[in-house]
Chains A and B, each alone.
Chain A
Amino acid sequence: MPFPGPLKNFMRGSRGGQPAGEKSANAAGRPVSQQPGGAQKFTTTTRPSRGIEEFFNSIRDQSGLTILDLGSASQQNVSFITNLGHRLYAEDFLRLLNESFGPDDLAAQSNSGSIDYFLRQALDYPEGHFDGVLIWDVLEYLAPALLAAVVERLMKIARPKGYMLAFFHSDDKLESVPFYTFRIQDMNSLQVAQTSTRKPAQLFNNRSLERLFGRAESVKFFLTRDRLREVIVKV
């Protein structure tokens, strides 16, 4: 079965079938390791990321900033960000989402009481608290009502002129998208590990993303070869 997302060319490259002379899968993502076991095999790839480059370039000359990572705490991200002299806040956003609404229960995500409860659990921070927010791809799994509330809260807890980095799949026909964990490898590359697949609540194009972050000062897009749209939002 071909892998979706950044791994779609991986098996062709590693198990033959790719004509000699063609570029390997490195262009889309360099396979680092493959985890055995289970019906589905998931891999880790390292690939360049303009989004992460742009995010850290924008805060490069500063230290002591406050960064929020919504992708839970991983050793690499913690080390990378704290080594730059910043303070890191970690939230396991999707775990809280599952605990609050159950997995893939989009109907529950429209209940205003549940939304308030979720925001208190996940994003209860003072206004203008963060200089940067690493959102990763979590917004894709939110139903419209919850998404609007979360984005509004994010815009509030990020300081004016602060930056947010979010990823969205650019293929708007996907039934389920690969579910990734993102590890910062260095200033301009990411280690992307696919841990499962998950059905997105909605998919976005540039226009809908501009509408979503309509209150932001600017929204910048980087389309990657692995069908991910990396978005830098300047609050």
Chain B
Amino acid sequence: MWNKRREEEPPKPISQGIVPAPAPPAPNAVEVKKEATPMSSMPVRTFEPESRGAATIGKSVKVVGQIFAKEDLYVDGAVEGTVEALEHKLTIGPHGTVHAGIKAREVLALGSIQGNVEATERIEIRKDAKLMGDIRTARIVIEDGAYFKGSIDIIRPEPAKVAPKPPAPAPAPAAAVPVVAAAPDIKR
């Protein structure tokens, strides 16, 4: 009797932007489980290539030479030579293998780097990444499981230069006169 009455009820409209409240417990336990499964409060941490707005070297691409980037760069292929993205972020993707000296504002390593890295702001070496080379950076993050061989130099940001003090006002000419005038007096 109860089941029949429920079937007759029209589905409730769900207003836009409002998350529907969880369904009341149904007599059938299997159905409850199905509805509960997709919900997860824990965000799954996956790496998404930040290719939006960034130049990309795909995983089937190999570059030998010098790369100068004036935008963010995502390398998932192979690079030999040098990579410079002085004011931008360089990401070495999980398939990326870079045999190069690197200079960038920010470096995110998920793949393999062999070479010295200078990251003016920060470098992050993720789990499973491999970096062999010397690092110079202001800030470093190394996840457990990352392989690193080399040295780490932390660059301390230079304090803002203080404007030079204006030169002291020149002594009044009147004060200088007696000294000049006194010399002949001493000679006498």
* CB interface residues, A 10-67, toward B, < 8 Å: 66
Closest chain A residue, CB of each to CB of B149: A91
Contact with B along A190-208 (1 / 0, CB 8 A): 0000000000000000000
Residues of B within 8 A of A228 (CB): none
Tell me whether B147 and A87 are in contact (CB under 8 A): no
Residues of A within 8 A of B141 (CB): 75
Dominant SS at the A interface? mixed
**Which of B140, B144, B147, B152 lies in contact with A95, CB distance below 8 A?**
B147
Specify which of B143, B146, B147, B154 lies most central, judged by the most chain A CB atoms within 10 Å of its CB.
B154
Residues of A within 8 A of B150 (CB): 89-90
Closest chain B residue, CB of each to CB of A183: B144
Tell me whether B148 and A73 are in contact (CB under 8 A): yes
Tally of contacts, chain A with chain B, CB under 8 A: 37
Tally chain B residues at the interface, Cβ within 8 Å: 14
Tell me whether A72 and B151 are in contact (CB under 8 A): no
Tell me whether B152 and A90 are in contact (CB under 8 A): yes
* CB interface residues, A 78-97, toward B, < 8 Å: 78, 82, 87-92, 95
Residues of B within 8 A of A88 (CB): 151-152
Taking the nearest CB of chain B, how far is it from the CB of A180, in angstroms? 14
Tell me whether A78 and B143 are in contact (CB under 8 A): no
Residues of A within 8 A of B148 (CB): 72-73, 90, 92
Question: For the complex, what is the distance from the CA of A74 to the CA of B153, rounded to whole Å?
Answer: 15
Taking the nearest CB of chain A, how far is it from the CB of B75, in angstroms? 22
Taking the nearest CB of chain B, how far is it from the CB of A85, in angstroms? 8
Residues of B within 8 A of A90 (CB): 148-152
Taking the nearest CB of chain A, how far is it from the CB of B136, in angstroms? 10
Taking the nearest CB of chain B, how far is it from the CB of A36, in angstroms? 15
Question: For the complex, what is the distance from the CA of A75 to the CA of B142, rounded to whole Å?
Answer: 5
Tell me whether A72 and B147 are in contact (CB under 8 A): yes
Q: List 26 A-B contacts (CB under 8 A).
A: A66-B151, A72-B147, A73-B142, A73-B146, A73-B148, A73-B152, A74-B142, A74-B144, A75-B141, A75-B142, A78-B140, A78-B152, A82-B140, A82-B152, A88-B151, A89-B150, A89-B151, A89-B152, A90-B148, A90-B150, A90-B151, A90-B152, A91-B149, A92-B147, A92-B149, A95-B147
Report B's interface with A, CB cutoff 8 A.
140-144, 146-154
List the 5 closest pairs (A to B, CB-CB), nearest first: A73-B148, A82-B154, A89-B151, A88-B152, A75-B142
With A89-B151, A90-B152, A92-B147 known, 10 other A-B pairs at CB within 8 A are A72-B148, A73-B146, A75-B143, A78-B140, A78-B152, A82-B152, A87-B153, A90-B148, A90-B149, A95-B147
Report A's interface with B, CB cutoff 8 A.
66, 72-75, 78, 82, 87-92, 95
